[in-house]
Amino acid sequence: MELELFNEISVEIDGQPFFSVENYHTYAVRQIRLVESFGQANAAGIAAGPPHYQVELSRVRRSGEEDLYALSDFSVVISRLQSRTVYTGCEWESIEEKTETDGAVTETIRLTALNRMELPA
């Protein structure tokens, strides 16, 4: 099945085209902790943990009968006109399925990735 790409965004899973995506949102998240000093009224500093990345892919259309629920420790590549963003060490958090009036099934997938790399197209 040929994928129709929306807004020049495509997603690959482990090097294979897997689905097209109309919208996506990404978030970089890390834990922040205050470093307190005994006897001081204010914190002495801030300790930042390593980042991880949350990605939400919406209006996902699959290219076939792939089992999204079986995905584990996968990579996602978001290709745009001038760059590619690669997320590795991915695990899905939630998958929401909707059936459109034309019978097409679209999904929203939320995932967490351990690493992110920005590459030229």
Q: Could you report the per-residue pLDDT of 74-98, keeping only the tens digit for each?
A: 888 888 778 889 899 999 999 998 8
**pLDDT at residue number 27:** 93
Q: Examine residue 2 and state whether it is found in any structural domain, yes or no.
A: no
Instruction: Measure the CA angle with vertex 36, ends 33 and 38; round to 5°.
Output: 160
Nearest to 20 by CA among 54, 62, 53, 55: 62
Q: Examine residue 116 and state whether it is found in any structural domain, yes or no.
A: yes
Of 46 and 81, the one with more pLDDT: 46
Domain housing 50: 10-120
Q: Decide: helix, strand or coil at residue 107.
A: strand
Annotate 56-84 with b (16+ C-beta within 10 A) or e (fewer). bbebbbbeeeeeeeebeebebbbbeeeee
**pLDDT at residue number 19:** 75
Q: Examine residue 1 and state whether it is found in any structural domain, yes or no.
A: no
Please tell me the distance from the alpha carbon of residue 84 to that of residue 81, in angstroms, as a whole number.
8
| Number of domain units in the chain | 1
User: What's the CATH number where 31 sits?
Assistant: 2.40.30.200
Q: What is the pTM of this model?
A: 0.75
